[in-house]
Amino acid sequence: MTYVVTEACIKCKYMDCVEVCPVDCFYEGENMLVIHPDECIDCGVCEPECPPEAIIPDSEQTAEAWLEVNRDYADKWPNITRKGETPPDADKYKGVDGKFEKFFSDKPGKS
Ligand code: SF4
Ligand code: SF4
């Protein structure tokens, strides 16, 4: 069991989640974070901390596709443990549909 980050995170990156994770299992892409499924201890602490509700448990049906994205990019992107700077336009993209297709970047973050 693990929690996963969905496309709702793309271009939001409030990063409140990374501050609360007890095992530091978030990884940073250019405009999205992911959780390493093998490192997450399924504590659920991060879920309510995420303003756009991008974090869901893998027991939810919609989580399956995101689990693969999280696993794949957690291996490629750098670990992030401290909240960084939220992009100034983050609120504009909150709740926008289809963000993965429109905006996903596979580039690593700056951590
Ligand atoms: S708080 Fe939510 S939207 Fe923000 S970086 Fe974490 S998972 Fe992404
Ligand atoms: S569920 Fe717990 S261990 Fe997993 S990412 Fe969230 S805070 Fe970290």
Residue 17 in 3-state DSSP? Answer: helix
Q: Examine residue 94 and state whether it is found in any structural domain, yes or no.
A: no
What local confidence, expressed as pLDDT, does residue 39 receive? 98
Q: Examine residue 100 and state whether it is found in any structural domain, yes or no.
A: no
Tell me the average pLDDT across 72-90. 89
Answer yes or no: are the C-beta atoms of 15 and 80 closer than 8 Å: yes
CA nearest neighbour of 17 among 99, 66, 97, 84? 84
Ligand 2 geometric centre to CA of 105 (Å):
23
- The count of structural domains within the chain is 1
By alpha-carbon position, which residue is closest to atom 6 of ligand 2? 46
Q: Report the pocket of ligand 2 as residue ranges, CB < 6 Å.
A: 3, 20-21, 23, 25, 35, 40-46
What local confidence, expressed as pLDDT, does residue 87 receive? 74
CATH for 23: 3.30.70.20
Q: Examine residue 98 and state whether it is found in any structural domain, yes or no.
A: no
What pLDDT digit, counting tens, does each position of 1-40 carry?
Answer: 899 999 999 988 688 999 999 999 999 999 999 999 999 9
What pLDDT digit, counting tens, does each position of 36-55 carry?
Answer: 999 999 999 999 999 999 99
By alpha-carbon position, which residue is closest to atom 4 of ligand 2? 40
Q: Return the amino acid letter for 35.
A: I
Q: Which domain holds residue 53?
A: 3-84
Across the chain, what does the average pLDDT equal? Answer: 93
